[in-house]
Amino acid sequence: MDRGLQKRVKLRSSRPFLRSLGKTFGTLAGLALAAVPHADVVGLELPFEVGDAGNWYGGGAALFGATWLFHAINAGLVRRRASQAARSVRVVPRDPEPLQRLLGRLGKSVSSDLALPDGGGIGTRLVLLQRFIRLLCDLGHSSFWLLMHRVVEATALAGIGDLMRSFVESMLEHRLLQFEGLALKLFLPIELSRLYLGASPDELKSMRLDKANSIPELRWSGHELVEVAVQRLRAVRPEGTPPARPGGRLADFFDDALTGADVRDALGELGTPRLAFGFLGALFSEHARELDDDLAAEDLAWRIPRRRFDIIHASWVDRARGLRRSLN
């Protein structure tokens, strides 16, 4: 961790050193007490009477055991707290070890004041967020913003509406939406429109989306979608590979019966990158499956005919209309 940040959060502490020193001292002292009755074996002359050896054994064992018992109890409590906090965090790896090491370095007063996540409640999370913003202010930043995008692409969510809803709805808590020093920008898939269209009065009161700057749907023009598609094609083209024809236009992948204007209008009708590129992906895959494996590179059969383009485009237009119907 950066030393400047350590100084800001007052992380520097002698507690780990003192704890290690105490454990070492207690261990050595316990062993030394147990070894007193055997001092004559190594030729040591003690200035006192040894007396009953059992007392020395018992005292040494008691000190040794108390030292390690205290260490074990303290480590167990820290481990338990770190594990509980790690289980309450749902979007990062749940490894309590780093947090356990951090808690072990903090003094008891500082550690007990930490608002670590406990279960699914939002209270402690808001306290942590408030402290994080205060730390940013101390470091010279007045605010920060959070962007949520491509929710449908996450492997764990797999585009399933219920899973996406569980992931997103915690971000729609009105106390978070109105948090000072935090700006939220959420690009959500159209399937999540029922978050507020089908919400109960209590849920709407909690979300308070009427107080947020919400836009039901973002529409992209056909020209914008074509430009993004061309950039994606260039990004995946192997280095040194020439485009299908001079210019590298998206229309070069299609039969001459399809013009650039036709492709642009077709993508514009779908209106969003998700639908437009889903359509293009399905179109390319369908066409590639029917091509011969030994087809020559210069063969015109590589180019997609208009009939296949129109059929697959019509199915995606129906899908887009079905999704948008839920907004009306």
Q: What are the pLDDT digits (tens) for 135-148?
A: 888 878 888 888 88
pTM given for the model: 0.53
pLDDT of residue 93: 60
Domain final position from 211, 231, 259:
211
- Judge if 7 and 107 occupy the same domain: yes
- Judge if 207 and 240 occupy the same domain: no
Residue 122 lies in a domain: no
Given a cut of 70, whether residue 273 has pLDDT beyond it is yes
Hey, what are 197's tokens? 């269209």
Average pLDDT over residues 32-40: 71
60-69, 243-252, 268-277 — which is least confidently predicted?
243-252
Output the CA–CA distances (angstroms, integers) from residue 130 to 26, 122, 137, 142, 319, in the order listed.
42, 12, 11, 12, 43
pLDDT of residue 246: 42
Question: Could you tell me what percent of the chain has a pLDDT over 90?
Answer: 13
Per-residue confidence at 8, pLDDT binned at 50, 70, 90?
low
4-8, 87-91, 167-171 — which is least confidently predicted?
4-8
Q: Between the CA atoms of 42, 45, 49 and 50, what dihedral angle is there, to the nearest 10 degrees?
A: -10
- Judge if 164 and 71 occupy the same domain: no
Average pLDDT over residues 73-84: 80
Choose between 13 and 32: higher pLDDT: 32
- For the chain, the average pLDDT equals 78
Residue 125 lies in a domain: no
Residue 120 lies in a domain: no
Per-residue confidence at 102, pLDDT binned at 50, 70, 90?
confident
Residues 103 and 71: their CA atoms lie apart, in Å, by 14
Domain final position from 176, 211, 246:
211
Residues 111 and 5: their CA atoms lie apart, in Å, by 17
Per-residue confidence at 42, pLDDT binned at 50, 70, 90?
low
pLDDT of residue 311: 94
Residue 119 lies in a domain: no
Given a cut of 50, whether residue 184 has pLDDT beyond it is yes
* Sign of the alpha-carbon torsion through 170, 176, 181, 187: positive
Burial of 285-320, coded b for 16+ CB within 10 Å and e otherwise, reads eebeeeeeeeeeeeeeeebbeeeebeebbeebbeeb
Given a cut of 80, whether residue 268 has pLDDT beyond it is yes
Residue 236 lies in a domain: yes
Residue 128 lies in a domain: no
Residue 18 lies in a domain: yes
pLDDT of residue 314: 94
Compute the half-sphere exposure of residue 93: CA atoms within 13 Å on the CB side of its CA: 5
Average pLDDT over residues 256-285: 91
- Judge if 163 and 197 occupy the same domain: yes
Domain final position from 92, 112, 132:
112
Residues 52 and 10: their CA atoms lie apart, in Å, by 50
DSSP states of 257-313 as a string?
TS-HHHHHHHHHHH-SHHHHHHHHHHHHHHHHHTS-TT--TT-GGGSBPHHHHHHHH
Choose between 61 and 328: higher pLDDT: 61
- Judge if 226 and 310 occupy the same domain: yes
- Judge if 77 and 165 occupy the same domain: no
DSSP states of 141-186 as a string?
---EEEEE--GGG-TTTTT-HHHHHHHHGGGG-HHHHT-TTEEEEE
Per-residue confidence at 58, pLDDT binned at 50, 70, 90?
confident
- Judge if 90 and 180 occupy the same domain: no
- Judge if 192 and 240 occupy the same domain: no
- Judge if 243 and 315 occupy the same domain: yes
Give me the domain span that covers residue 198. 143-211
Compute the half-sphere exposure of residue 299: CA atoms within 13 Å on the CB side of its CA: 9
- Judge if 41 and 97 occupy the same domain: yes
- Judge if 63 and 159 occupy the same domain: no
- Judge if 9 and 105 occupy the same domain: yes
Given a cut of 60, whether residue 320 has pLDDT beyond it is yes
Choose between 162 and 15: higher pLDDT: 162
* 118 within 8 A of 171, measured Cβ to Cβ: no
pLDDT of residue 181: 84
Residue 216 lies in a domain: no
How many domains would you assign to the chain?
3
Question: Could you tell me what percent of the chain has a pLDDT over 70?
Answer: 79
